[in-house]
Each structure stands twice: as structure tokens, then as C-alpha cells.
Amino acid sequence: MKLYIYEHCPFSARVRFVAGMLNLPLDVVTIAYDDDKTTTDIVGSKQVPVLVKDDGTAIAESLDIIDHFLSIADSIQTNIPSEAILEWQRRAFLPLQKIGYPRWSSMDLAEFTTASSQRAWRSKKETEALNFDALLTETPTIAKEVETLIREAGILLKLDSTIPIAIVDEAILFSILRGFFSAAEIDWEPSVKEWMELVSKEANVRLLK
């Protein structure tokens, strides 16, 4: 199976997380951010993640890809996230954008290795409300909001329980939390940071730092 991704993309990360935790082999291909052709030729639009199955057919939605992985692994788990996780995700996305948008194109990420891909990112993502320079200046304030989300994630992960939460819920939490590593100013809850570092290695999905 071949999976097309951006390294920064949380939807790509959650798919890779599930594959890694289920020990499913993947040929992971990171496409350039200004590549408008590769996935358009496969699924008719520029988007990631896109999974091309062994039979040549493609799946283009992260939860559908996760469902396919669970089926391959004969797992009884579902690809449907819990309401608590979805509610946390809704509140976490804007802080993730505020942390990641002004930083990711300057990091060592395969989708941003060219000046044209970096320009394409800034052109698409920077807005009056998400001004990159202003967001960097506002990092201490944004970090406080993120630190609250991290503590809430620790509760949702039930790290003090011997019974793990559903893999799709873990994948969503991991995929967003990994982006918060992009800002060194963020003070991490130790148990959540330890969990992130552990599952990052287990799933073979790097943290964004």
C-alpha cells in the first residue's frame, strides 16, 4: 500500500499512527506542498492523505483509511471517534494552526524543501487573522491556551488506567498534540509528553520539533 502525505498534516499523521500501531507496512510518500498534480491524478483533487491499495484503488479520507486498516488487521475496533475527542479536536485546531502555520514551512519537512513550496504555503495559509509574524509574537499567550489543551488531553488519554482508549481516539489526540512540539515555549504535562514520545517511536511517526 502506498500512502501520500504531508509530514505536518494531522490527518496524515493519524492515519500513519494507526498503521504503525497495527504493524501494517506502508510505502509512505511525502509530496511537495506546491505539487498540484500527484493526488489530483489519483483522486481528482489536491489533498492528503491518499491511500492507494494493493489493488490500485484509492481512499482519500483519513477515517475511511483508518477503517480500511482496522479491517486488514481484523480489529474489532471502530473508526468512529468519541464525542469527547471530537469536541476537544474542535477546540484544538485553531491553536494548532496558530502554533504550526508560521513555523512548519521553515522546519525540516519534506513537503517544504523548495522555496516555491514555502511560498505556496504562506500564500495559502496566511490571513489577516493568522498573520505569521503576529502569531510568533503572540506565542506566550497562545502557549497558555495550548497547555490547557494538553492537560485536557491527558485526562482523555486515561493514562492512569490499564485499559487503553480506542485507537482512533489515540490517533486524533496524537496527530494534533505532535504539532504543538513545534513551539519550544510550550510547557508540557510530563505524563502527556512521555506518552507522546513513546507512541511516536512505536508508530514511527516523528514529532514536529
Exposure string for 173-203, b = 16+ CB within 10 A, e = fewer: bbbbbbbbbbbeebebbeebbebbeebbeeb
Residue 172 to residue 86: CA distance in whole angstroms: 9
Residue 110 to residue 153: CA distance in whole angstroms: 28
- The domain locations on the chain are 2-72, 83-203
Residue 74 to residue 70: CA distance in whole angstroms: 6
Q: In this predicted structure, what is the pLDDT of residue 175?
A: 98
Per-residue confidence in pLDDT tens, the chain, 209 aa: 999 999 999 999 999 999 999 999 999 999 999 999 999 999 999 999 999 999 999 999 999 999 999 999 999 999 999 999 999 999 999 999 999 999 999 999 999 999 999 999 999 999 999 999 999 999 999 999 999 999 999 999 999 898 889 999 999 999 999 999 999 999 999 999 999 999 999 999 999 99
Domain 83-203 CATH (choose: 2.60.120.10, 1.10.1740.10, 1.20.1050.10, 1.10.3720.10): 1.20.1050.10
Residue 166 to residue 82: CA distance in whole angstroms: 9
Whether the Cβ atoms of residue 23 and residue 72 lie closer than 8 Å to each other: no
Residue matched to cell numbers 511560498: 119
Residue 193 to residue 191: CA distance in whole angstroms: 5
Residue 23 to residue 48: CA distance in whole angstroms: 21
Residue 29 to residue 7: CA distance in whole angstroms: 10
Cα dist from 33 to 5, 11, 148, whole Å? 10, 15, 31
Residue matched to cell numbers 495559502: 124
Q: In this predicted structure, what is the pLDDT of residue 82?
A: 98
Tell me phi and psi for residue 4, to 5 degrees: -95, 130
- CATH class, domain 2-72, is alpha beta
Q: 44: left (phi > 0), else alpha (psi -120 to 50), else beta? A: left
Residue 75 to residue 67: CA distance in whole angstroms: 10
Residue 41 to residue 82: CA distance in whole angstroms: 34
Handedness of CA 130, 136, 140, 143 (dihedral sign): positive
